[in-house]
Amino acid sequence: MDYITNILFAVLLFIGIGYFSKNVKKLSRNIKLGHDVDVSDNKSQRWKNMAMIALGQSKMVHRPIAGILHVIVYIGFIIINIEVLEIIIDGLFGTHRIGLSVLPVSVYGFLIGAFEVLAVLVLVSVIVFWIRRNILKIKRFWNKEMTSWPKNDANYILYFEVVLMSLFLIMNASDIHFQSMNSGNVISQFIAPWFSGFSESALHSMERTAWWFHIIGILIFLNYLYFSKHLHILLAFPNTFYGSVKPQGQFDNLEAVTKEVKMMMDPNVDPFAAPADNAEMPAKFGASDVQDLNWVQLLNAYTCTECGRCTSQCPANQTGKKLSPRKIMMDTRDRLEEVGKNIDANKGTFVDDGKQLLDNYITREELWACTSCNACVEACPVSINPLSIILDMRRYLVMEQSAAPTELNNMMTNIENNGAPWPYNQMDRLNWKNE
């Protein structure tokens, strides 16, 4: 009869991983809705960025308290997951603590002992995180865009961590065999006495229950990721790899525009020539919806974990303007999800829903408040670039809609007419010399 639990376990594992894979496919499809961008350059720098920024958390520790706590949770998360490997093998083959039959007791004990210590550290960190969010109410967690879902999402993750870590410790504490080994029960030996009055069979069921809930919890957590801001634990890696390797001040030169400008400057081009029959549709300048952005920008949106470091560093936001770089990323993801659902509902093609990223999500007032200072780009611990989206949307407003604020139109007219943003004659450019 024992094999029934093994089958049940295999089925659960299959469903858990299967549903997650299905959503990963959707995620990848949505990201590919963005247009292509060449990221094949500077491979070695990109690997280095990924190693330093994602794996090494180099930017997280810029804010030491949150940073160090995050590093603890992160290391704990990765290392404790080695234990999941054992759980999966045990579950599939009906073994118990398979590690013990392949590793010397001392090594196994050392590993589990380390996991237990980490589990406690993670618990403490997660509790501090919860206090920072809900009791200390640190400002960046309470900005306007932090409506009920983003706030709950953040807390759910914390509760998840508490439950998973507690289950791990209870599982070890109620494991009579493991406790009697007295190796590796660094923490659980102090929990075991709580259950001293329990019968052996009660302890056994408790251990089994904790074991099942632990693995089911992990599978639920895995599947929750797709719906949550917490995707960053996976996407931080590709995102830091594909993030910009250019100086922050360098904005891309639009190729479509370069072609037109070259034509205008070429005296041999016939300005009245009809476009060739096979000519492509002229590209749309800038972005008004998510499909106009490139796939790295869309990957950015899924990677954002809404920590708000960008927004707290933004000069516009600090002085009470509506612009919040975090909201730019959240809006981009929300709209992308909406477009993705639209495609799912319409058998693979997007049907115009009368909405777009501009105006329906991101207002013009937000876009025009940006000083392009790159503080948000610098602040992001996972190389997200909200500024590039703001610029692409400004490009759409100016080049497709001629909808710049009047003062900026005056500035641009001045540059066109006399080569300076102010109405001075270019012939007077050297007058300062004699003043």
How far are the Cα atoms of 18, 75, 143, 240, 375 from residue 381, in angstroms, in the given order?
Answer: 31, 16, 19, 9, 12
The correct pick among 167, 375, 382, 389 for binding other proteins (CB under 8 A) is: 375
412 is a site residue for other proteins (CB under 8 A) = yes
Is 151 an interacting residue with respect to other proteins (CB under 8 A)? no
Q: Find the shortest distance in angstroms from Cβ 147 to other proteins.
A: 21
Instruction: List CB contacts of 232: < 8 A, sequence separation 6 or more.
Output: 239, 303, 304, 305, 382
- Scanning 9-17, 161-169, 226-234, 363-371 for contacts with other proteins by CB under 8 A, the matching segment is 363-371
Measured in degrees and rounded to the nearest 5, phi and psi for residue 362 equal -105, 125
246 forms part of the interface with other proteins (CB under 8 A): yes
Exposure pattern of 128-152 as b/e (b: 16+ CB <10 Å)? bbbeebeeeeeebbebeebeeebee
**Least distance (Å) from other proteins to the CB of residue 427?**
5
Restricting to residues 175-214, name those near other proteins by CB under 8 A. none
Helix axes of 325-345 and 3-31: crossing angle, nearest 10 degrees? 110
Smallest gap from Cβ 423 to other proteins, in A, equals 10
**Residue 257 touches other proteins, criterion: CB under 8 A:** yes
Backbone angles phi, psi at 35, to 5 degrees: -80, 165
Minimum distance of other proteins from residue 405's CB (angstroms): 5
CA 296, CA 277: separation in Å to the nearest integer?
33
391 sits near other proteins (criterion: CB under 8 A) = yes
Q: Determine, following the binding rule CB under 8 A, whether residue 422 of this chain makes contact with other proteins.
A: yes
Structural contact between residues 83 and 115, judged by C-beta atoms closer than 8 angstroms:
yes
Q: Identify which of residues 12 and 411 has a Cβ nearer to other proteins in the complex.
A: 411
Among 247, 271, 275, 348, binds other proteins (CB under 8 A): 247
Which one, 152 or 431, has the nearer CB to other proteins?
Answer: 431
396 is an interface residue for other proteins by CB under 8 A: yes
Cβ-based burial of 85 (10 A; exposed 0-12, middle 13-18, buried ≥19): exposed
Nearer to other proteins, 30 or 317 (CB): 317
Q: Which residue, 63 or 132, has its beta carbon nearer to other proteins?
A: 63
229 sits in which H/E element: none
The sign of the CA dihedral 132, 387, 367, 389 is: negative
Total residues interacting with other proteins, rule: CB under 8 A = 69
Q: Are 415 and 421 in contact (CB under 8 A)?
A: yes
Residues at the contact surface with other proteins, assessed by CB under 8 A: 246-251, 253-254, 257-258, 260-262, 264-265, 285-286, 313, 315-316, 318-323, 365, 368-375, 377-378, 391, 393-399, 404-405, 407-408, 410-412, 415-416, 419-422, 424, 426-435
